[in-house]
């Protein structure tokens, strides 16, 4: 996945989410993450995922890009669920939790230039954690690019095709090994480059001001409502579970509205 | 001035290097530096001292693996010399980088990794922001650097979607934005079209005339006479074997051959003419000067 596509989506977009205050988006992200962590109710999680899908559609970023990026944590969660979930329902819950977290992160990443994300984060976390988060973010995309290039080289040089799964798996494993070694080198080089360009301890940026207080309020209020719902269904699960089917409905309406609005605008 | 040949007298030991007095206007000195990488590769940049003074445009030439990038990394304080001396603005850059960092602009070989921000304007403004300049000052400097590189129209573009040459110009604008006294460039002409090279040559000349010291490593031998006024040649073992003006350096065919360096086409042409006719004109490395010299010689 090209880092340029993420930067392009985050920088050139003009949707209400792009115009929202970065700090409001980070607060909303934290609330959604908490909501997904708190609940073990499949329908509540489904509601959160649908709500985040509505946010992605309304932000007019490429859905393919957003859902592909969000699928990475879901894929690893699926592997974990297959290995350790006690039943099918729990397995789905694990995957949906990861998908919700992934979608929330992707929504922020695709609507906010990354310095705007990390500058406020680095103010509240210890320096080394801030550095690590920033480096991890940059390295992830550079490594994904590198991995795609490596796989192309592997296909061209070893003649691996879809019909040869064992050979393909062996070649992929070798590519991953090479990628791991490259990642150590990359992180050092990345830090060196930032250092020679003036980085010291924390990223200094001019944080974008809020352009729409109403949009910020809607964002925080909606995610607060999602967290409240998760908490309610966690605390009073026995009495509320029969009504769980109601939870995804408002999210579905939001998704429908976002779809209609984006179709009209395009 | 004659080219300094690598002779035994120039081989410095670590102890000797400590005694070296700076020459007037000295900005950079690299003296007999040794560095071993984690994979066991050892680079020993010995032989002649590398010295850059104010307003010089210096090209570092050498075959692959000679240690050109290693030397630049020592100048930038990214590597610590295990032996020898590295002095930039009178201090050891690996020890006192924060004290000198604002005075140094850098373009590294892999510009993809150098570009850090999501838009061209943000990237060019990265360093001044990190140094705590006001937003008004940052905007002013970004405008100036973009204009200097002739890339104002790229201002709001996403750098990762630009061509290789455009990315190099963005990286160069990012290096110039702090108006550095020392510009360190690793393969600065890679991916640039002829017009961009000419523009870059003119810019480097103007910067040097204004007092900026330019240190660049390059494989692009044909650009050296236009881009640099002084050159250092490294041998395959990292030995700094030769230094002088481009005309002087490119007339030392034996040392260039030992370093696997082919002189520019015009230098080679004049060299061959002089081999067959001792009355042939002195080498001229610019096309106009070469044409004039050949016309005069013909008659």
What's the pLDDT at A7?
84
pLDDT score recorded for residue B5: 40
pLDDT tops 50 at residue B12: no
Residues of chain B above pLDDT 90, percent: 48
Residues linked to residue B91 through DSSP beta bridges, in sequence order: B88
**What is the bridge-based pairing of β-strands B83-88 and B26-36?**
antiparallel
Report which of residues B165 and B238 the model is more confident about.
Answer: B165
| Cβ–Cβ gap A197/B174 under 8 Å | yes
Going by pLDDT thresholds of 50, 70 and 90, the confidence category of residue B11 is very low
pLDDT at B8 over 50: no
DSSP secondary structure code for residue B263 in this structure: P
Provide the CB-side half-sphere exposure for A145 (13 A, CA): 14
Out of A63-72, A108-117, A210-219, B35-44, pick the least confident. Answer: B35-44
pLDDT for residue A152: 82
Distance (Å) from the C-alpha of residue A149 to the closest C-alpha of chain B? 15
Write out chain B residues lying below 8 Å of A200, CB-based.
98, 130
Long-range contacts of A210-216 (CB under 8 A, 24+ apart): A210/A20, A210/A21, A210/A24, A211/A19, A211/A20, A211/A21, A212/A16, A212/A19, A212/A20, A215/A16, A215/A17, A215/A19, A215/A20, A216/A20, A216/A21, A216/A24
> What is the average pLDDT score of chain A?
87
pLDDT of residue B18 exceeding 60, the answer is no
Tell me which chain B residues have a C-beta less than 8 angstroms from the C-beta of A195. 78, 97
Candidates B102, B116, B131; nearest CB to A194: B116
pLDDT of residue A205: 79
User: What band does B3 get if pLDDT is binned at 50, 70 and 90?
Assistant: very low
Closest residue in B to A7 (Cα) is B118
Which residues on B lie below 8 Å from A4 (Cβ)?
A: 158-161
A31-43 average pLDDT score: 95
| Of the partner residues B101, B132, B158, the one whose CB lies closest to the CB of residue A4 | B158
State whether residue A9 sits within 8 Å of chain B by CB. no
pTM across the whole model: 0.80
Q: How far is B226 from chain A (nearest CA, A)?
A: 28
- The average pLDDT across A56-83 equals 92
The Cβ-side half-sphere exposure at B225, using a 13 Å CA radius, reads 19
**How is A111-172 classified by DSSP, letter by letter?**
HS-HHHHHHHHHHHS-HHHHHHHHHHHHHHHHHHHHHHHHHHHHHHHH---TT-HHHHHHHH
The pLDDT assigned to B19 comes to 63
pLDDT, one tens digit per residue, over A134-177 is: 777 777 777 877 888 887 887 777 666 667 777 777 877 877 88
Q: For residue A265, what pLDDT is reported?
A: 73
pLDDT value at residue B270: 86
Of residues B80 and A150, more confidence is placed in: B80
Pairing status of strand B104-107 against strand B57-61: unpaired
The shortest CB-CB distance from A204 to any of B78, B102, B129 is to B129
Span A98-111, mean pLDDT?
95
pLDDT of residue A160: 66
**Residue A2 touches partner B, C-beta closer than 8 Å:** yes
Q: In what order do the strands lie in the sheet with B240-244?
A: B4-5, B240-244, B230-234, B57-61, B213-217, B182-186, B104-107
pLDDT of residue B100: 94
Mutation test of the interface with chain B: which of A115, A198, A199, A204, choosing the one with the most B Cβ atoms within 10 A? A198
Is residue B89 less than 8 Å (CB to CB) from chain A?
no
**Strand B57-61 versus strand B230-234 pairing type:** parallel
Of B106, B156, B158, Cβ closest to residue A196: B106
Residue with the bigger pLDDT between B1 and B220: it is B220
Res. A59: pLDDT tops 70 = yes
From chain B, the residues in CB contact with A144 under 8 A are: none
pLDDT band at B121 (very low <50, low <70, confident <90, very high): very high
Return the higher-pLDDT residue of A15 and B161: A15
Q: Which of B55, B33, B34 is nearest to B209 (CA)?
A: B55
Sign of the Cα pseudo-torsion (A154, A159, A162, A163, in order):
negative
Rounded Cα distance between B10 and B82, Å, is 20
Whether residue B117 and residue A113 make contact (CB cut-off 8 A), yes or no, is: yes
CB contact under 8 A, B113 and A142: yes
What pLDDT, on the 0 to 100 scale, is given for residue A161? 67
The per-residue pLDDT for range A174-215, each reduced to its tens digit, is 778 888 888 888 888 888 888 899 888 777 877 778 888 888
Q: What is the mean pLDDT of residues B247-275?
A: 83
Determine contact: A191 vs chain B, CB below 8 A: no
Test B114 with A193 for CB contact under 8 angstroms.
yes
């Amino acid at each position: 996945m090209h880092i340029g596509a993420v930067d392009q989506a985050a920088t050139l977009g003009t949707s209400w989410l792009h115009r929202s205050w970065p700090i409001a988006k980070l607060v909303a992200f934290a609330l959604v993450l908490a909501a997904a962590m708190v609940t073990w109710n499949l329908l509540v999680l489904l509601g959160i995922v649908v709500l985040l899908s509505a946010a992605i559609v309304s932000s007019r970023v490429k859905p393919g890009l957003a859902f592909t990026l969000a699928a990475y944590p879901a894929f690893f969660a699926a592997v974990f669920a297959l290995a350790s979930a006690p039943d099918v329902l729990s397995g789905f819950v694990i995957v949906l939790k990861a998908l919700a977290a992934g979608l929330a992160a992707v929504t922020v990443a695709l609507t906010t230039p990354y310095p705007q994300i990390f500058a406020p984060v680095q103010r509240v976390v210890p320096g080394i954690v801030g550095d690590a988060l920033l480096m991890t973010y940059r390295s992830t995309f550079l490594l994904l690019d590198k991995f795609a290039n490596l796989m192309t080289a592997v296909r061209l040089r070893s003649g691996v095709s879809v019909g040869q799964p064992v050979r393909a798996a062996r070649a992929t494993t070798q590519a991953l090994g090479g990628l791991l070694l490259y990642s150590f080198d990359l992180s050092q080089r990345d830090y060196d480059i930032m250092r020679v360009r003036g980085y010291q301890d924390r990223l200094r940026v001019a944080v974008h001001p809020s352009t729409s207080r109403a949009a910020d309020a809607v964002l925080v209020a909606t995610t607060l409502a999602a967290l409240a719902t998760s908490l309610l269904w966690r605390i009073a699960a026995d009495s509320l579970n029969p009504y769980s089917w109601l939870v995804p409905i408002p999210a579905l309406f939001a998704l429908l509205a976002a779809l209609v609005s984006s179709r009209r605008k395009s | 001035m004659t080219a300094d040949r690598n002779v035994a007298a120039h081989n410095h030991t670590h102890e000797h290097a400590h005694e070296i007095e700076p020459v007037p206007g000295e900005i950079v000195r690299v003296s007999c530096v040794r560095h071993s990488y984690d994979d066991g590769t050892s680079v020993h940049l010995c032989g002649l001292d590398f010295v850059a003074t104010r307003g010089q445009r210096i090209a570092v030439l050498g075959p692959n693996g000679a240690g050109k990038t290693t030397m630049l990394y020592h100048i930038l304080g990214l590597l610590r010399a295990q032996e020898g001396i590295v002095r930039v603005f009178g201090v050891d850059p690996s020890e006192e980088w924060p004290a000198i960092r604002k005075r140094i602009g850098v373009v590294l070989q892999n510009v993809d990794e150098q570009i850090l921000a999501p838009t061209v304007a943000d990237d060019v403004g990265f360093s001044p922001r990190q140094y705590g300049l006001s937003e008004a000052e940052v905007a002013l400097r970004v405008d100036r650097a973009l204009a200097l590189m002739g890339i104002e129209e790229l201002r709001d573009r996403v750098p990762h979607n630009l061509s290789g040459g455009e990315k190099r110009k963005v990286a160069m604008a990012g290096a110039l934005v702090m108006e550095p006294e020392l510009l360190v460039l690793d393969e600065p002409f890679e991916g640039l079209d002829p017009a961009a090279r000419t523009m870059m040559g003119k810019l480097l000349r103007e910067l040097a005339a204004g007092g900026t010291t330019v240190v660049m490593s390059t494989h692009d031998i044909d650009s050296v006479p236009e881009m640099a006024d002084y050159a250092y040649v490294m041998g395959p073992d990292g030995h700094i074997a030769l230094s002088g003006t481009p005309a002087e350096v490119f007339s030392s065919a034996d040392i260039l051959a030992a370093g696997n360096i082919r002189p520019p086409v015009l230098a080679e042409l004049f060299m061959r003419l002089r081999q067959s006719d001792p009355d042939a004109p002195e080498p001229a490395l610019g096309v106009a000067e070469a044409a004039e010299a050949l016309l005069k010689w013909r008659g």
